[in-house]
Amino acid sequence: MPLNRRDLLRGAAAAGALGVAWPLSGGLTLAQAEEAAFALGASWDEAPFTVGVASGDPLPESVVLWTRLAPQPLAEEQPLPDTVEVEWVVATDSAFRRRVAHGTAPATAALGHSVHIAVTGLEPARRYYYRFRALGRTSRTGRTRTAPDGHVRRVRFASANCQAFHDGFYAAHRGIAQEDLDFVVHLGDYIYEHGQVGGDHVRDHEGPAVTTLPAYRRRHALYKSDPSLRAAHAAHPWFITWDDHEVVNDYSGTTPGLRARRDAGYQSWFEHMPVRPDHPTTPQVYRQRSWGDLLDLSILDLRQYRSAQNLPGGTILGGTQKAWLKDRISHAGDAWHCWVNSIMLSQLAKPGGGYYFTDQWDGFLAERREVLTHVHDTGMPDLVVITGDWHSAFVDDIRPDFDNPDAPVIGTEFTAHSISSGAYSPEWNAANGPVMGGANPHLKYFEGNRYGYDVYEVTPRRWSTHMRVIGDRRDPNSPVSTLTTFHVDRGKAGSHEDRGTRTSPAQYRRDR
Ligand SMILES: [Fe+2]
């Protein structure tokens, strides 16, 4: 019977092979950390490009190329000179006969020997191949794509979120790597900072163990030891935002006393992500991107600037980002408007009053109403919000006032399954799906027993969300299938489940 990584770890600990419950935290020797990682199925690319290659943030003429030199990926200090020159090359063919750009960049110890190349002068809507060379070695080849400009008839992209390494293998990323996609969006919880393995529920938290820059680096390198994650990065460019576990559970970036830990989490995140190299230690995560005239992306940062939850004047966006988002709403053109949103926007009220979780937008009621009322008042059409965090799939109608079921529908939120992070039990889901549906008339669909990712297929007339699920997160080669598909028609707010998949398993459906 296949085991997930947590079971493997427990088995090894019981057999006396490992002395501690979650041996990838700080305080271990390199040999101990490697022993634990290999027990969990870790493998890396050939040194020094152990953690792979990636590309991201495509613009019509530019894309970011990333790698990190880490000959000993779990070591706190890499056995490298302070600065290593890294050559990079971009070609239009995978054999690198037609080279269109190349250069060198310094990988420095100060930034974990990572490199971020913002390549410019590329052609729009074009596939490219890239690779790196350093210390006499060549990296694997990555494949990427620039954004189109002008008229676009179709875009196909995927979202991933919540990939707790100890909860399962990344069969879902293997699926993403094999999909025909223009790009991938990551919605956060790329790593988990957890110190120890705990219970089986979504929101269990054990001691905070990863707090320093070397420890966060080790954690990121561990996550990249899953070959399916590296394959998904090498296959497509990614747009990336973050959620809380890149630093610590349910944190606010403005929490006093968290500064040093936050800085360490942010810097190590930058060092491992294909993001623009403009702000390495305090990354600028929120931004606007587009895919021609078809898709307008507002990538949100719901962590760095937020206040505490449940305050009368609380903010999840922070003043500057809120003004930016409202300005984008005011000047929205004719396109699908997609908010890349790490945590649930729609209300999720409990039957007797109150909310399930106020770390999500439910803890920032006045600001949510202000932003959504602005969407309504400006008449911005065709809003689709894509969300992670919950480890279960939801489809919601978005209303400016969720307490008023007669308020107009102004958009749709698709909350995706997690890649691997543990969801609630099937028993909890079966009992609570109908309860959540009953207490939230805007909630259309809930499915919490599966893991996977969403694929969005968007044309000028229709947005389709395909929920891709894996059979078993304990199996790295688990096959991918489509659980169901919902669509939104252009100019008509509200989603509909495709006829062919309406009888698929789910714990709640509003419309039958
Ligand atoms: Fe998560």
Which CATH number fits the domain that encloses residue 79?
2.60.40.380
Residues 476 and 331 in one domain: yes
Residue 150 lies in a domain: no
Split into its structural domains, the chain has a count of: 3
Which letter, b or e, does each residue of 309-341 get, where b requires 16 or more Cβ atoms within 10 Å of its Cβ?
Answer: beeeebbbbbeebbebbbeebeebeebbbbbbb
CA distances from 247 to 5, 210, 244, 366 (A): 22, 8, 6, 26
CA of 159 to the centre of ligand 1 (A): 14
Residue 47 lies in a domain: no
CA of 137 to the centre of ligand 1 (A): 36
Residues 136 and 159 in one domain: no
CA of 470 to the centre of ligand 1 (A): 17
CA of 248 to the centre of ligand 1 (A): 11
Q: Give the pLDDT of residue 200.
A: 42
Half-sphere exposure (CA, 13 Å, Cβ side) for 498? 15
Give SS3 for 349.
Answer: strand
- Which amino acid belongs to residue 37? A
Residues 412 and 430 in one domain: yes
Residues 334 and 456 in one domain: yes
Q: Give the pLDDT of residue 204.
A: 30
CA of 382 to the centre of ligand 1 (A): 27
Residues 9 and 135 in one domain: no
Residues 78 and 28 in one domain: no
The set of residues, in sequence order, having a beta carbon less than 8 Å from that of 97 and lying 6+ positions away, is: 91
CA of 365 to the centre of ligand 1 (A): 22
Q: Give the pLDDT of residue 7.
A: 65
**Cβ–Cβ < 8 Å for 418, 391:** yes
CA of 162 to the centre of ligand 1 (A): 4
Q: List the chain residues with pLDDT less than 50.
A: 1, 13-21, 23, 197-208
CA of 81 to the centre of ligand 1 (A): 36
Residue 368 lies in a domain: yes
Residues 70 and 202 in one domain: no
φ and ψ of 238, to 5 deg = -120, 140
Residue 501 lies in a domain: yes
Give the pair of three-digit tokens for residue 395: 């489809």
Per DSSP bridges, beta strands 383-387 and 336-341 are: parallel
The CATH number of residue 413's host domain is 3.60.21.70
Range of the domain at 186: 155-231+238-509
Look at the block and give the residue holding tokens 């919540």. Answer: 162
CA separation for the pair 199, 231 (Å, rounded)? 30
CA separation for the pair 171, 229 (Å, rounded)? 9
Residues 274 and 337 in one domain: yes
Rg value, the chain, Cα: 22
CA of 304 to the centre of ligand 1 (A): 17
CA of 411 to the centre of ligand 1 (A): 24
CA of 188 to the centre of ligand 1 (A): 7
Residue 48 lies in a domain: no
CA of 271 to the centre of ligand 1 (A): 21
CA of 389 to the centre of ligand 1 (A): 5
Tell me the residue length of the chain: 512
CA of 292 to the centre of ligand 1 (A): 31
CA separation for the pair 474, 228 (Å, rounded)? 14
CA of 192 to the centre of ligand 1 (A): 8
The set of residues, in sequence order, having a beta carbon less than 8 Å from that of 169 and lying 6+ positions away, is: 4, 5, 41, 226, 228, 420, 473, 474, 475, 476, 478
Q: Which long-range contacts (CB under 8 A, 24 or more apart) does 249-255 make?
A: 249/193, 249/205, 249/208, 250/359, 251/303, 252/303, 252/306, 252/307, 252/308, 252/309, 253/303, 253/304, 253/305, 253/306, 254/305, 254/306, 254/307, 254/318, 255/308
CA separation for the pair 123, 90 (Å, rounded)? 12
Residues 122 and 269 in one domain: no
The set of residues, in sequence order, having a beta carbon less than 8 Å from that of 481 and lying 6+ positions away, is: 468, 469, 471
CB atoms near residue 152 (< 10 Å): 20
CA of 86 to the centre of ligand 1 (A): 34
CA of 134 to the centre of ligand 1 (A): 35
CA of 166 to the centre of ligand 1 (A): 12
pLDDT tens-digit readout, 429-439: 999 999 999 99
Residue 35 lies in a domain: yes
Q: Give the pLDDT of residue 201.
A: 29
**Cβ–Cβ < 8 Å for 176, 150:** no
- Which amino acid belongs to residue 237? P
CA of 390 to the centre of ligand 1 (A): 6
Residue 46 lies in a domain: no
Last residue of a domain, one of 113, 145, 177: 145
Half-sphere exposure (CA, 13 Å, Cβ side) for 354? 5
φ and ψ of 83, to 5 deg = -130, 135
CA of 244 to the centre of ligand 1 (A): 8
Residues 405 and 309 in one domain: yes
CA separation for the pair 172, 455 (Å, rounded)? 12
Last residue of a domain, one of 106, 121, 145: 145
Give the pair of three-digit tokens for residue 56: 């991201």
CA of 125 to the centre of ligand 1 (A): 33
Residues 71 and 220 in one domain: no
Residue 45 lies in a domain: no
Residues 77 and 162 in one domain: no
CA of 375 to the centre of ligand 1 (A): 28
For 278-331, the DSSP string reads T-SSS----EEEEETTTEEEEE--SSTT---TT-TT--SS-HHHHHHHHHHHHT
CA separation for the pair 444, 410 (Å, rounded)? 15
Q: Give the pLDDT of residue 461.
A: 98
